[in-house]
Amino acid sequence: MEKQIIGYIVGAFDLFHIGHVNILKNARKMCDYLIVGLSTDEWVKKYKNKTTAIPFNQRKEVLMACKFVDSIVPQEDFDDFKMWERLKFDIMFVGDDWKESERFKGLEEKFNKIRIKIIYLPYTKGISTTEIKKKIAERGLEEKNEE
């Protein structure tokens, strides 16, 4: 029997949108089983200094309804190597907006030694949770000014 390829991807996946669908779909095409490291509300607050629009448990439910996701684990820090030790994934998928970042340069070196691949997937241009929140706020101001 052939070994199952396990993939891993992390993110907040707040205000789930087409960019999230694209990255999950592309990741799932390259593995047999996809695990999502879903950032906890506390972790998002700590590293982004932002509050999620959707609480962790609801974001988890949305992701579990996505056909590309096989399981979800909470992400509480940036220690992806520790997560590999726990999950033993074969490939880590990352948005290409992180390529060349200090975080992933160091991780690539560690993963290369144990033959774990990091694959950078294209970021969907023009869409992000931050952009969606900004548009909602702008529309709210427009509507308020029309009154």
Q: Which tokens is 84 given?
A: 């590999």
How many other C-beta atoms are found inside a 10 Å radius of the C-beta of residue 94? 24
pLDDT per residue as tens digits for the range 85-133:
999 999 999 988 888 888 888 899 999 999 999 999 988 887 788 888 8
Catalytic one of 29, 48, 134, 135: 48
Gap between the Cα atoms of 3 and 17, Å rounded? 32
Gap between the Cα atoms of 55 and 45, Å rounded? 12
Say whether 50 is catalytic: yes
Q: Which tokens is 27 given?
A: 């990741």
Gap between the Cα atoms of 2 and 15, Å rounded? 37
Q: Which tokens is 34 given?
A: 């996809």
Reported confidence tier of residue 23, pLDDT bands at 50, 70, 90? very high
Does the pLDDT of residue 146 top 70, yes or no?
Answer: no
pLDDT per residue as tens digits for the range 29-77:
999 999 999 999 999 999 889 899 999 999 999 999 999 999 999 999 9
Say whether 134 is catalytic: no
Q: Which amino acid is at 76?
A: E
Which residue ranges form the domains of the chain, and what is each CATH number? 6-146 (3.40.50.620)
Q: Which tokens is 117 given?
A: 């691949």
